[in-house]
Amino acid sequence: MKLVANVKDRLVNSLKPLVIFYGFYLFFALLTPFIVSMLIAHENVVGSPTGVIFPSFIYAAIIGMLMVTLRFNNSIQFGSSRKTIFISYQINSIVVSLILAILNIVFTEIMNNISWLNMTSSVIDNLYKVNNVSFEILVFSFVLFLLSISIGSLSGLLFKRLKKITLMFLGAALVFIPMVLGYIFSVLPQSAKLAVFDFFGTILGLQGKNIWAPVLTLLVICLIFNFISWLVIRRQPVK
């Protein structure tokens, strides 16, 4: 009973912002180019090379953050365990990611068929030689949004649990670790560099233009983030 109530509670709070987001997106992605092309430039304008996927990715992270920062205290107050709350996060993430992935496909298809939008292929479509309205893109988008929500959730949980000074060190580490890794990479022997390129090429499916490889990679990263989120939430006090 608590799981159903938790899932319903979170879905309502996640789906409402989605309506607002797509309302804004429709305005800026469709109406603004229409106004520019028809009324000002009198020629077809180019749509976004990333389509709706990139702004949706950002917004999914925000939904993830809101999901874990709002209503946690309320759920505990009404007798839920942290395990149930965590499971409701996962169910909510899957449902929202699926909705985002489907809407992503729908909007892409709509925009492909609008005459005054001169749509180019997206980065993903070109990299993996897939149609931007296809089952592969649907699955890829779904996993991408799942990852985005898990990044947002973990960020939100850490922000709530960690002391501000610890957060500052963590933020600094996130900036400096890539720099350090980049320096280490630059001093590696050529064979090692090639091995690293091969590794990333394989897990991202770039060599064989295989989109299922990054799907699996993103899923693994998502599971890792979710596991860390569980470690953070399992002893989270109500404050």
Partner 1 sequence: MTEIIINNIQKNYKDKKVLKHISTKFEPGKIYGLLGRNGAGKSTLMNLISNREFPTSGEMTINGETVTENEKSQAHIYLSSEKNYFSKDFKVKKIFKSAESFYGEFDWDLATKMIDRFGLDINSKIGGLSTGYNSITKLIIALCLPVDFIFLDEPILGLDANHRDLFYEFLMETYATRPRTFVIATHIIEEMEKIFEHIILIKNGEIIDDGDVEDLLNSSVMLEGDSEKIAAIEDNFNVFYKHSFTGISKLYVKNKVDEAQLPEGISVNKLNLQEYFVGRTN
Positive or negative torsion for Cα 87, 89, 90, 91: positive
The 3-state DSSP class for residue 151 equals: helix
Single-letter amino acid, residue 5: A
Q: Which residues contact 105 (CB under 8 A, 6 or more apart)?
A: 133, 137, 138, 141
Least distance CB 66 / partner 1 (angstroms) = 11
Binding residues for partner 1 restricted to 8-27, rule: CB under 8 A: 8-9
Residue 144: HSE in the Cβ half-sphere, 13 Å Cα cutoff: 24
In the list 70, 98, 127, 139, the residue contacting partner 1 (rule: CB under 8 A) is 70
In the list 32, 50, 74, 126, the residue contacting partner 1 (rule: CB under 8 A) is 74
In terms of CB distance, is 75 or 153 closer to partner 1? Answer: 75
63 in contact with partner 1 (CB under 8 A): no
* Listed ranges 67-75, 122-130, 186-194, 195-203: which one lies at the site for partner 1 (CB under 8 A): 67-75
Asked if 44 contacts 37 with a C-beta cutoff of 8 angstroms, the reply is yes
What whole-number distance in Å separates Cα of residue 135 and Cα of residue 7?
A: 27
* Listed ranges 79-87, 164-172, 191-199, 217-225: which one lies at the site for partner 1 (CB under 8 A): 79-87
237 in contact with partner 1 (CB under 8 A): yes
In terms of CB distance, is 78 or 185 closer to partner 1? Answer: 78
